[in-house]
Structure formats: C-alpha cells, structure tokens
Amino acid sequence: MRVRLIAVGTRPPGWVREACDDYLTRLGARLPVTVTEVAPGKRGAGAPPERAIAQEGARLLALLREADHVVALDERGTELTTRELAAWLKTRMQEGEDLAFVIGGPDGLAPAVLERAARRLSLSRLTLPHALVRVLFLEQLYRAHSLLSNHPYHRD
C-alpha cells in the first residue's frame, strides 16, 4: 500500500514544511507517506480563477495512477471523527489499496479532479489555508494510524 499526498503549491512557509516533516517522520516506515508538490496555475489581475484551477487539475490528474483510491480534501466533503478516519484507513490497508490524497490550490480543486475522487473528505467546515491543510491532514493521518497501532497518542 502506497500513500501519497499530492498538493498544489511549491513554496509553503517554513513552519508548514517543518510540521509536515515532523509527522512524516513520526509515520516513518509504519505508514510511509510521500508528498508531491504541484505548481500552482497562473493567476493574474482580472483573469478568472477557472483557468488556474484547470491548469492545476490537469497537473494533479497527470500524477494519479489508474489504481489509486483518490481522496479529495475539500471543504464540501464528508467530515469524519478521528476514529471514523482510523476505521476507514484500516479498511483501505486491509484491501491494500494505494491511496492518493489531493489538496487543491487557493481556489479549490478542478471539477475533473473531484470527479476522479472516490471520496471527498473535509477536515473542517471552516475555510482553511491550503498550506495548513497539509499539516492538519498529516497530523490526523498520524493520529488515525496511532489508534490502529494502539499507540497512546490519541485520547478521547
């Protein structure tokens, strides 16, 4: 099972990289996760964001494999508790599916990417900066995996 986080944005702030690296290290060999950054679409004054979204969508879709179980991190997606996320992750692990989680740019994900996704997952009903979503998602993935490993990180 391969787990990938594919995110639009190639220059997140240092604190984002540091936090992501911390959770990737914690996950380590137990649940290796790779992070792939995608160049954002070109945005300009007066240009509609749809062009940039389409460019990002094409780049994201080009990185997805046919067998990937794709999950779009989207504010309009389903909210899960950490325990529900852990149960979902356990099922995916038992089925041995490769997972690809996608994070869009500042204007969200292209419709084609949302259509390709088997699931849409929301980390919050709040609007979050897309760089922060990386950190929150990796932390929750670590927390869910910790639950499955009977590690005391998660507390109810």
**Domain map of the chain by residue range?**
3-148
In 3D space, the residue among 52, 154, 145, 40 whose CA is nearest the CA of residue 103 turns out to be 40
What is the per-residue pLDDT across 52-76, written as a single tens digit (0 to 9) for each? 999 999 999 999 999 999 999 999 9
CA distance 13 to 11: 6
pLDDT of the residue at 154: 61
In this prediction the pTM is 0.93
Instruction: Summarize pLDDT for 83-133 with one digit per residue, the tens.
Output: 999 999 999 999 999 999 999 998 999 999 999 999 999 999 888 888 899
pLDDT of residue 143: 94
More confident residue, 11 or 6: 6
Q: Tens digit of pLDDT for each residue in 131-151?
A: 899 999 999 999 999 999 987
Look up the CATH architecture of domain 3-148.
3-Layer(aba) Sandwich (3.40)
Phi then psi for residue 137, to 5 deg, are: -65, -45
